[in-house]
Amino acid sequence: MTRRQWLGFLSSLGFASAAAHAAPTAAGTPALPRLEPLLLTDAQWRQRLTPAQYRVLREEGTERAGSSSLNAEKRKGSFHCAGCDLPLFSSNTKYESGTGWPSFFDTLPGVFKTKRDFVIGYPRTEYSCARCGGHHGHVFNDGPKPTGLRYCNNGVALKFVPEAA
């Protein structure tokens, strides 16, 4: 198990524990479901993912802007993690940010972990899948209302699942 996998596992345990014990909100929303971490060996990840997905999800890479077919996806449905199939975003939260990456102003509850990232010299907030630890992108404070957030996601890290007709 790599250091990244071990840290992801420990983070997932903390998240899962907190989520499993979360109290319902005032509106009566039920507690978040417990997410069992998906822990695979490097060889298993390489077998499961395409080389481009592996580079982004497991090595925290970034795909070229404008390269994802999901930029133009307008159908109703949900966007899932390409690594573990966890639903992450509703199509109702997707918008055109003009950045060249699929962008969303909100996530489904409890699906991401975040950390500070200084890779390009200034601080950013990286987010990754709470189940498999796969890197998805960065969140910025320049998005539309109602959240004001822009989840700038690598399209290759996502899988679109259309709404059933």
How far apart are alpha carbons 121 and 106 in whole angstroms?
Answer: 26
Give the model confidence (pLDDT) of 120-155 as tens digits: 778 899 999 999 999 999 999 999 999 999 999 999
Kindly tell me if the per-residue pLDDT of 72 is higher than 60.
yes
Catalytic residue among 81, 84, 132, 152: 152
Residue 162's φ and ψ, nearest 5 degrees, are -65, 150
Kindly tell me if the per-residue pLDDT of 25 is higher than 90.
no
- Residue 121 is given by DSSP the state S
pTM of the predicted protein model: 0.79
What is the DSSP track for 65-108?
Answer: TT--GGGG--SSEEEEETTT--EEEEGGGEE--SSSS-EES---
Kindly tell me if the per-residue pLDDT of 6 is higher than 70.
no
- Residue 37 is given by DSSP the state P
Give the model confidence (pLDDT) of 78-119 as tens digits: 999 999 999 999 999 999 999 999 999 999 999 999 999 887
Query: Catalytic residue at 132?
Result: no
Give domain 3-20+38-162's CATH number out of 2.120.10.30, 3.10.20.30, 1.10.10.10, 2.170.150.20. Answer: 2.170.150.20
